[in-house]
Each structure stands twice: as C-alpha cells, then as structure tokens.
Amino acid sequence: MSIPLRLLLVEDSEDDALLLERELKRGGYEPTTKRVQTEKDMSAELQAGEWDIVISDYVMPKFSGMDAFRVLKDSGLDLPFIMISGKMGEETAVDAMRAGVHDYIVKDKMARLIPAIQRELREAEVRRERKIAQEALQESEKRFALFMRHLPGLAYIKDEQGKILYLNEYVEKMHGRKMKKILGKTDFDLWPEELASKMREYDQEAISSGKVVESIDEAEQSGEKVAYLSYRFPIVREGWPALLGAISIDITKRKRAEDLLKDTTEQLKIEREALERKNVALKEILNQIDAEKAAIKKQITTNVEQAIVPTVLRLKELASPAQAKSFEMLERDLKEIVSPFVDTIRSAYAKLSPRELEICRLIKNGMTSKEIAEALNLAVPTVHKYRELIRKKLKLTNTEANLNTFLQSV
C-alpha cells in the first residue's frame, strides 16, 4: 500500500518533476505534489498548505535552492529540506549542509532519494515530538511556577542534609530576603538553634517514616511571634536519596484567636464559678429570710390566738348587741390574719387586686353584698360588680359554682 506524501517541489523543469514523482512512486509513496518556481509562490504555499517535505532543485533561472531554503527558514516551519542538483560541487554541498539543508541528492544518484526521504521524515517526526514534549514541559513548569507564586504559604524542598533546594516566592515575604540568598542554606542558618533542631527532627521523621508529618512551627519574625502550620512529606526518587518537601501556612491570626478564645473561656469559667458561689450564698440568705418570716408569722399567730383573740372575746361578752357585731367582725379579721387563706388565694390568683382580695375574704366569712357594702363603705351595685370580676378571674363565669362555697374550699 502506497504511503501518502505531501510534497512541495521547487523545480522549473516539468520533465524533472515527472521523473521525481515516478521515483517516489517506485519507492512506495503516493505523492501529492505542488510545483513552484518563485519565492512568492513558495511563500504562499507554505502559508496555505500542510506539507511533509520540501524538495528543491539547486539551480533555476529565477530562483535558487539556497533561496528556497531561506524562504523555508523564514516561514518558521520545521520541514525536511532536500536539495537535488546535477551541478553542485562538494564544497557547495558542504556549505549547504552547514546552512541547515538536511540532505542533497545528485541527479545521477537518485537511488539515494527514497532512503533520504525516509530518514528525514523520521527525524522530522522526532523533532515534532520533542518540540511537543518541550512545549508541554514548559507549559507544565509555567503552571507550576504560577501556582507556587500565588500559593498563600511557604513551599520548599530540601536535600538529605537539610539544604534548601527550592523555594517559592512567598519566602521573600516571610523572611524579607531574596530567594537566592536562602537557597543552599539550612534551618540552622535561618532560625535560632532550638527551633532549627526541632524542624530538623520533623524533616527526618517524615523521610524515615515515609509519611506526612504535621507540626506547628512558631518563631520570631520582624519582632513579632508568628505561627506556621507545616506539612512535611518525603519525595522518593528511585536510585537517589529521598528529598524533603514541605508546605507551611501562616496561622498566626488563627492561633491568636484560639489563644484569646481559650483565655476568654477560662475567664468565663472563673466568673461562672464565682456566680455559682454567690447563688449558693443568696439561696442561704433567702432560706434564712423565709425561716425568719415563718418564725415571725408563728409569733404573730401565737400572740393573736393567745392574747388578742381572748381579749376580744371578753369585750364582746361585755358589749351591747350593736357593739357585739363589730367585735364579731374584729374576731373574724383577727382569725383571717393568722389564716393562710389570703396568701393561698393571692398565690393562686395573682391577677386579683387588693380590694378584690378583701372582698373575697369577707365573702368567705359569710357576709352578704349589703353587709360588705356597709363594711367597706361601698354601694351595693359596686360590690355586685366586684363579685362578677372575681368570678371571671377565678374562672367561675358560666358555671353554677357558688362563690362563697368555692372560697371556703380554698
């Protein structure tokens, strides 16, 4: 099966062009040929088409082989260029090869043409692959450099002795020194001995263990204490000693925030404990007050029951019938003083006003609305209104419950 070949032929002789194509077909190629004779036509074809090879006659009336080679070089294309001539001397051929012509063929030795084409096509393919690989490598290195330049932290590589082989540009911000002044140095050249020794231990641990080692490195920098979160890891190279790679991120602000939070938490703990002690003391004081209130209430109850009530009873026996009624009310009032009724109903129904509580007490003692009105110097309709409000607040509205009976049960 014939091999396609896109040929740009610089030749003024149509007969020589046909002979060349015949030779290519005998060699197993199927050429697609474009013949040009001038610099202008050659430049146009180089720009317009995709060619595998350029073959040029050495001597032509208006255009030479070396001129054709110059046009190819000026185009920037990397194509095999083979020159064919029947009049090229050895010295001229050597000059052409030195200029960059890939090969030359003497017309009476056309048997060399096919091997030369095959060789030059292979070498051109190797050059293309090498160029692609170099461009890919350059692009990769460019991406890596951009990534490292914008990395918000320090990245570096050390050899087995701890010497710094690579640094990203962040080091200039960190140390305030150019990278070239730090490359080749060790941590002992850059940091205090205690910190450098600790960092060297982390490096050796990462290399010996083959694992990532995480640490927090703290140091003095420009008069301030800074903290870096560092990740160290081995870079294994077959047949070579392992290198140490590391990335360090500035966590100074975070560390300060954590320390502040720790101090604040500790202070809150102290204040909470102090508050708890105060609460205990306050509870003790309130308990003491309640105990004193209970003792006072007991004393009042005792005094009323043992001293005042008996006196009122004796006065009631000696009083006239009209006065006796007043003493009865006084007796009931005194008993109410020592009774838990008012306190109970006040705590159970906090919405009752003092006047309503007083009316509740009188209703509980069996007094009618008229008697309550006379005792409190109120109009009877006013007492009725109070009774309605009391029933509403005690949630007795729309029920058949008797207010006096309800209050007796409290």
Give per-residue pLDDT as tens, 26-67. Answer: 999 999 999 999 999 999 999 998 999 999 998 888 898 899
- pLDDT digits 0-9 by tens, 364-399: 878 888 888 888 888 989 988 988 888 888 888 888
pLDDT band at 337 (very low <50, low <70, confident <90, very high): low
Sign of CA dihedral 214, 218, 219, 224: positive
Q: Which residue has the higher pLDDT, 145 or 136?
A: 136
**Statement: residue 348 has pLDDT above 70:** no
State the angle between helix axes of 321-337 and 309-318 in degrees (0 to 180), rounded to the nearest 10.
Answer: 170
Q: Which residue has the higher pLDDT, 297 or 124?
A: 124
pLDDT band at 176 (very low <50, low <70, confident <90, very high): low
Q: Return the closest-CA partner of residue 71 out of 81, 61, 62.
A: 81
Residue 149 parent element (H or E): helix 113-150
Q: Can you tell me whether residue 33 is helix, strand or coil?
A: strand
Most confident option among 72-86, 306-320, 394-408 = 72-86
**Statement: residue 6 has pLDDT above 90:** yes
Q: How far is CA 277 from CA 172, 264, 274, 284, 291, in A?
A: 55, 20, 5, 11, 21
Q: What is the pLDDT of residue 257?
A: 85
Which residues, including other chains, have CB under 8 Å from residue 313's CB and lie 6 or more apart?
331
**Statement: residue 125 has pLDDT above 70:** yes
Q: Which residue has the higher pLDDT, 13 or 325?
A: 13
| Under 8 Å between Cβ of 83 and 103 | yes
User: Which of 13-17, 247-251, 290-294, 361-365 bottoms out in mean pLDDT, i.e. has the lowest?
Assistant: 290-294
Residue 48 φ then ψ, to 5°: -85, -35
Residue 243 φ then ψ, to 5°: -100, 165
| Under 8 Å between Cβ of 182 and 175 | yes
Q: What is the pLDDT of residue 179?
A: 72
pLDDT band at 126 (very low <50, low <70, confident <90, very high): very high
| Under 8 Å between Cβ of 71 and 46 | yes
User: Of all residues in the chain, what percent carry a pLDDT higher than 70?
Assistant: 87
- pLDDT digits 0-9 by tens, 198-215: 999 999 999 999 899 999
Residue 223 φ then ψ, to 5°: 80, 5
Q: What is the pLDDT of residue 5?
A: 94
pTM above 0.85, yes or no: no
pLDDT band at 271 (very low <50, low <70, confident <90, very high): confident
Mean pLDDT of 303-328: 69
Mean pLDDT of 103-123: 90
**Statement: residue 2 has pLDDT above 90:** no
Q: What is the pLDDT of residue 349?
A: 61
**Statement: residue 342 has pLDDT above 60:** no
**Statement: residue 239 has pLDDT above 70:** yes
Q: What is the pLDDT of residue 359?
A: 86
Q: What is the pLDDT of residue 312?
A: 66
The neighbour count for residue 3, using CB atoms within 10 Å, is 14
Which residues, including other chains, have CB under 8 Å from residue 19's CB and lie 6 or more apart?
none
Distance in Å from the first CA to the final CA of the chain: 119
Written as six digits, the tokens of 232 are: 């160290």
**Statement: residue 306 has pLDDT above 70:** no
For the chain, how many helices (H) and strands (E)? Answer: 16, 10
* CATH number 3.40.50.2300 given to 3-137: yes
Domain ranges of the chain: 3-137, 151-250, 294-409
**Statement: residue 314 has pLDDT above 90:** no
pLDDT band at 336 (very low <50, low <70, confident <90, very high): low
- pLDDT digits 0-9 by tens, 213-231: 999 888 777 677 888 899 9
Report the mean per-residue pLDDT for the chain: 84
> Which CATH topology does 151-250 take?
Beta-Lactamase (3.30.450)
